[in-house]
Amino acid sequence: MDTLATDPTQELPQTASEDPQPEAGTSQAQRPITVADVIGRHSAPAEPPGPGVLESAWIRVRAALAVLARPRVAGVLVAGLGVLILLLLGYIYVFTPLSGQRAQHALLQQITSEPANTYNLAAGQLPPDGDPVAILEIPSLHLVEAVVQGSDAQDLRTGPGHMPTTALPGQAGNAVILGRRSTYGAPFGAIGTLKRGDVIKVVDGYGTFRYRVARVVDAQGGRHDVVTETASNRLTLATASSGFFPTGRLAVIAKLIGKPFEGTVEPRFHPGTSELGLVGDGASALLAVLWTVLFFALLSAAAWLLRHWSQPVVVILLAVPILLLVALFACESLVGALPATV
């Protein structure tokens, strides 16, 4: 029994779990360097890098496209697009002619009630943009229109417009009047049918003047424009070439019958881009985009409510007037973004 007894002070052998102590006389630098010494014993593994900005954006775009590709969502959007196109066509061919007729009626009444304001050019100043400046009559087309001062997209909504940088009818040089071809009553929609020798009469502050049609021209882009200064005394009626996005002009050139009037208004012949009649209103283009986006957002919200709300009649009664109102604003802005002589 004495031989099996152990000395409690006897040193037990080291287990594998215990770290070996460096021997006496051995420096720490001579101990082997392990991986744990480099990265740390309890360091967590590094997380993989996340997707970049472009990759995240592409993931969101793919998710949005996947939602739009769903049959119900795509059906709602296509139906909304069809309704918007129908409203746009109705706005162009029904509402704008009524608007043009109403504006012409108001202008003719203004000329009749205040003729001095329209025809008084003795001071050498033109009327403000949008105010009537003359009356244009083409007997062969049964056309009688009040001509406003100014030729940008807003001015031509009320009728033909005198390009303010050109001579007034009756003056020496080239008097230019622009008009719409398809929208707002299309006052110049039929000028292409005029024949050589047809008479055009214009009444303004300088008197009554007659012109005889010399030719009808189609001035495409890149060719000499017909709205520039000329040595001959003539009247130029110009509108857009065919299509909603014209590249040129359809113009009628008419020569003055008799001598010109020595007017007091001096033309400057340096028109701005908006006065040439081939561009639309930039603000209207931006509004058209915003109204269209809002229309589809409201349409999507209405479709979602119809599926998830227990009172579809209330949704329809509330959504339909709002959608029609927004769609009409979008149509108005889209037409305003078209070239001014369309």
pLDDT for the residue numbered 44:
52
Nearest-CA neighbor of 244 among 330, 336, 143? 336
Question: Measured between alpha carbons, how far is 170 from 242 in angstroms, rounded to an integer?
Answer: 30
Give the pLDDT confidence score for residue 322 in this predicted structure: 94
> How confident is the model at residue 80, as a pLDDT?
85
Upper half-sphere CA count for residue 288 (Cβ side, 13 Å):
16
For the chain, the distance separating the N- and C-terminal CA atoms, rounded to the nearest angstrom, is 122
Give the pLDDT confidence score for residue 71 in this predicted structure.
Answer: 62
Between CA 27 and CA 31, with CA 29 as vertex, the angle to 5 degrees is 85
* Residue 175: predicted pLDDT: 93
Mean pLDDT in each 10-residue stretch from start to end of the chain (342 residues)? 45 46 51 56 55 63 55 74 91 93 93 78 75 94 94 93 90 93 93 96 92 91 74 93 81 95 73 83 91 91 82 86 94 92 92
Please give the pLDDT value at position 55: 63
pLDDT at site 2? 45
All domains in the chain, ordered by first residue? 73-342 (2.40.260.10)
Indicate the pTM of the whole model: 0.75
pLDDT value at position 123?
64
Smallest Cα–Cα separation from 207: which of 175, 170, 172? Answer: 170
